Structure 1
Amino acid sequence: MSCPKVLLVNWRDTRHPEGGGSERYVERMAEGLARRGYDVTIQCAAHANAPRDEMVAGVRFRRRGGRFSVYGWALLAIMTTRPDVVVDVQNGMPFFSRLVARCPVLVLVHHVHREQWRAVLGPALGRIGWFIESWLAPRLYRKCRYLTVSEVTRAELVRLGVAASRITVVHNGLDPVPRTRAAQDPDPTLVLVGRLVPHKRVEHAIDAVARLATRWPKLRLEVVGQGWWLRTLREHAELRDVQDRVTLHGWVDEQDKHEIIARSWLHLCPSVKEGWGVVIMEAAAHGVPSVAYRAAGGVAESIVDGTTGLLATDFDDFVRKVESLLDSASLRTEMGAAGRAWAAEFDWERSVDAFETAVFDVVSASSRS
């Protein structure tokens, strides 16, 4: 069998102003398939940072539509490009590709969005979004194979009615982290890297600094990332009277991001939900332990609790976990060494191997039927 034509329909790409870790995953998988001879296209929303049509690393990008119209453009692409397999990337909202595709559909889910619907859209619209994700989508895609990035999300999908036998876990890989010049800061320094949006709960990190400021008079928080929640976070830091301790860097390039991570004592990830947590693994590769919430999805896998970082049950516990690691240089060093070893187990080629197997299996099964 010749290598299939693969169409990935996704809300955004990594060059989009709101692009993040899930988009990086999609593009790494696409690039890996392209290197192996597949004809790969990513259909996503248009934006000012990139042209409508572009070839990057062997992958064809077709950027059409905006936040909502991207879904219509994706359906049109499925009908007109005649792929051999569609990868429907469901970031909460499905593309409804099953309705028009004349080929197998693979459903890629990084995590479920029960908590995020309400946080982003409010209670009324949030209920509609959650109904589509939790009830309608599992029924519409009931004959499709699923891919996800963690066993935690796999279990969540099973609870929504997706048969476990139809779900394959393909973990994130990890890009080699660049060599950094930074030595660990002599003063206690926390870092948070991510998009500045409500469900990332950067406020929890700011509140932790406020709670610990008396005991740690030189404690600082470095926040790396951009997003529409920036002004709210700046106001929140002023409200908590820690504006002089919190640096909101905005966007920085990859080298500067890694320099900031490498000089930090701890990495914080107070997000409501993450599919995996790429930056957790990047921090681990630099020997920097992470603290996150146990209920926040894939972070419960990307952090090996008690070994490469700590998982908290609620905000008070989050602060206690941060304080315990600030208190113990030996524990941070021990977790840092374990984190480096853990991060070394993940690379994109192994992930692409598993992803390619899933793609090839559904195409082969379709050709036999």
Structure 2
Amino acid sequence: MRAGGRDPVVFVAWDAEALGGVQRVTHTLAQGLAVRGHEVHVVGIHRSAAPFRHVAEPGYHRHVLQGRLGRPSRRRLAALLGALRSGYVVLTSPGTVAWAREAIPRHLFTVGQYHGSYEHARSTWHLRSIRRHYPELDQAVFLSPEDAWRFTEDCLLPNAADVPNPLPVWPARTSPLTAPRVLGVGRLAGVKRFDRLISAFAAACRAVPERWELHLVGEGEDEPRLREHAAAEGVADRVTFHGRVPAERMPLLYLHGSILALTSDHEGLPLAVAEAASYGVPAVAFDVSSGVRAVAARTVPPGDLAAFTAELTALMADLAARRRLGAAARDRVAAYRPGHVLDRWEELFARLRL
């Protein structure tokens, strides 16, 4: 048996300091494990062009393998890991597993995460990479029992487990859900399909007498196109683009929101939906994964904009339904409270040492 329960933990991510869901989960886990007494390192393979501070006062070490002008160095990773006498290396994506696996000393345990869904993986190179590389790891970790089972069956994995993403915090207060405000949270990029959300919102506004607003939180290359789309739909004066919002300001947005809407083409376990639910805010979403089904209050078939619009309209018109569904969603995501998820990770580490 290797060293005790407070062994070092190293997270390796493709771009650890970028603004994104994988990065936020990584830093949340790193901080939580550091608070519990682990020596924790977060390693970015590439240097972020626009670094984002996910944790105000990190209790863990941060590293970047890419030099200012050069390529990332596996030798630097091997040197960092070689200095550890024991511990766990958590690789946060298929690309990270493929790039970093050979640099990891054999005396360290290897854990490969996948933050997407099986549905998404099978339509991309991710599934081929998981089939090739993840069986060689000590542990493969997926977001839900259903995904762990489906990857096990398809990829013949001997080592699959499921651990959900943690919420950054568990809020003491919840939203009253009275503000006429729909939230859309995520990168303003094609895969998030905020154009569909704007269209659904515009149609719902025509059916609901109260004056509602749509608040989009995030930045990305699609913002000019989305602004034009909002104008074409006649709701430019009701859509607010917040851009990049610091993590510490997100609670206020959730507390003043009444519905979260998710129109993505694919998601794993969407952190924005889970966060909104923790504040009692119900979500309407396309049913693109088991993770979405676990946290959204209402789901509709993928791409069915008419059904999405109908669900959004119904919630905008019914405060009692919002409160009932929001309370139920908060109960469901209690399993993602930071302490519960950190317990799951430490239990996983303990099993690897047996």
Q: TM-score, normalised by structure 1?
A: 0.79
- Tell me how far apart the structure 2 counterparts of residues 325 and 46 of structure 1 sit (CA, whole Å): 42
Q: Report 1:81-100 matches (<5 A).
A: 81=80, 82=82, 83=84, 84=86, 85-90=88-93, 94-100=97-103
After TM superposition, what 4+ stretches of structure 1 lie above 4 angstroms from structure 2? 48-51, 112-117, 178-183
Show the counterpart of 1:291.
Answer: 284
Query: Are 2:335 and 1:321 equivalent residues in the alignment?
Result: no
Deviation at 1:229, TM superposition (A): 2.2
Show the counterpart of 1:38.
Answer: 38
Show the counterpart of 1:149.
Answer: 143
Residues 255 and 142 of structure 1: CA distance in aligned 2, closer, same or farther (over 3 Å): closer
Show the counterpart of 1:176.
Answer: 170
- Tell me how far apart the structure 1 counterparts of residues 145 and 11 of structure 2 sit (CA, whole Å): 22
- Tell me how far apart the structure 1 counterparts of residues 261 and 56 of structure 2 sit (CA, whole Å): 36
Q: Report 1:206-225 matches (<5 A).
A: 206-216=198-208, 218-225=211-218
Q: Report 1:168-247 matches (<5 A).
A: 168-174=161-167, 175-177=169-171, 184-185=178-179, 188-216=180-208, 218-247=211-240
- List per-residue Cα deviations over 1:183-236 (Å, max 9, x = no partner): 722xx4211112222111111110102222322352321111122222221122
- Tell me how far apart the structure 2 counterparts of residues 37 and 169 of structure 1 sit (CA, whole Å): 24
Gaps of 5+ in 1: 118-126, 304-308
Do the aligned residues in 2 keep the contact of 1:177 with 1:282 (CA within 8 Å)? no
Deviation at 1:347, TM superposition (A): 1.6
Q: Give the partner amino acid of 2:148.
A: R
Show the counterpart of 1:64.
Answer: 65
Counting aligned pairs with the same residue, the percent is 24
Q: Give the partner amino acid of 2:227.
A: R
Do the aligned residues in 2 keep the contact of 1:193 with 1:224 (CA within 8 Å)? yes
Deviation at 1:330, TM superposition (A): 2.0
Residues 184 and 23 of structure 1: CA distance in aligned 2, closer, same or farther (over 3 Å): same
Deviation at 1:179, TM superposition (A): 5.0
Show the counterpart of 2:27.
Answer: 27
Residues 333 and 111 of structure 1: CA distance in aligned 2, closer, same or farther (over 3 Å): same
Residues 93 and 235 of structure 1: CA distance in aligned 2, closer, same or farther (over 3 Å): farther
- Tell me how far apart the structure 2 counterparts of residues 264 and 33 of structure 1 sit (CA, whole Å): 31
Residues 207 and 156 of structure 1: CA distance in aligned 2, closer, same or farther (over 3 Å): farther
Q: Give the partner amino acid of 1:34.
A: A
Deviation at 1:182, TM superposition (A): 7.8
Do the aligned residues in 1 keep the contact of 2:9 with 2:89 (CA within 8 Å)? yes
Number of aligned positions between the proteins: 335
Residues 332 and 41 of structure 1: CA distance in aligned 2, closer, same or farther (over 3 Å): same
Query: Are 2:109 and 1:102 equivalent residues in the alignment?
Result: no
Show the counterpart of 2:299.
Answer: 311
- Tell me how far apart the structure 1 counterparts of residues 341 and 251 of structure 2 sit (CA, whole Å): 23
Show the counterpart of 1:121.
Answer: none
- List per-residue Cα deviations over 1:10-62 (Å, max 9, x = no partner): 0233x52xx222222222222233233333211113236669xx995331100
Do the aligned residues in 2 keep the contact of 1:192 with 1:221 (CA within 8 Å)? yes
Residues 101 and 274 of structure 1: CA distance in aligned 2, closer, same or farther (over 3 Å): same
Residues 113 and 152 of structure 1: CA distance in aligned 2, closer, same or farther (over 3 Å): closer
- List per-residue Cα deviations over 1:258-311 (Å, max 9, x = no partner): 3333233311011222221222122222222100111245111123xxxxx101
Residues 243 and 63 of structure 1: CA distance in aligned 2, closer, same or farther (over 3 Å): same
Do the aligned residues in 2 keep the contact of 1:180 with 1:262 (CA within 8 Å)? yes
Residue 235 of structure 2 aligns to a residue in which SS? coil
- List per-residue Cα deviations over 1:226-258 (Å, max 9, x = no partner): 222222211222232321221111123445433
